[in-house]
Amino acid sequence: MTVRPGRARFVALLPGLVAAGIAHGACLALTSHPDGASLVRIELGTGHSTFAATYVHSVTRTPVDEQYRVDGDTIVETEIRFDQHGPGLPTEADAGAQWTRRDGRYVVTMDRRFDRIVMRVHAEQKPTLVVGDRATDLAQWGNRAIALSASASSCPVQ
């Protein structure tokens, strides 16, 4: 078989392109709740399993940062940081977790596992899902309930 010079470069690149196409990370799915209509799917990327949710607390009007990781098809909350106590925020650490104060903020580590997380979002609270350097405004679909779930496999092509 004779390979033309331009084609040789393509053939040499082919294994890398195939590997890149096969490599994937977990997938986060946001759906409308309770009807389940798909809103968006976000790929975490190869080798990444963490993401964050940030918002302004509805009562204290201060920032809250929640850290998560994907473990198979499960979402694991690993940490929450906040400035002031408010309804719905932890008042003590779970068994085996830590409650500390760092840089003027409360930091609670945890290992809370969820099949899915249903949240009520409101634009005034600036709810944001952060994956790597990408931020998704969760209020872009209006003030509503949204369900978040995870899959260990890559996001399906839409």
Q: What is the pTM of this model?
A: 0.81
Look at residue 156 and tell me if it is in a domain.
no
Domain residues for the domain of 49 are 25-151
User: How many domains are there within the chain?
Assistant: 1
Running DSSP on this structure, what letter comes out for residue 132?
Answer: T
80 within domain boundaries = yes
Q: What residues contact residue 7 under an 8 Å CB cut-off, 6+ apart?
A: none
Indicate whether 158 belongs to any domain. Answer: no
- Res. 135: pLDDT tops 90: yes
At residue 78 the predicted structure's pLDDT band, cuts being 50, 70 and 90, is very high
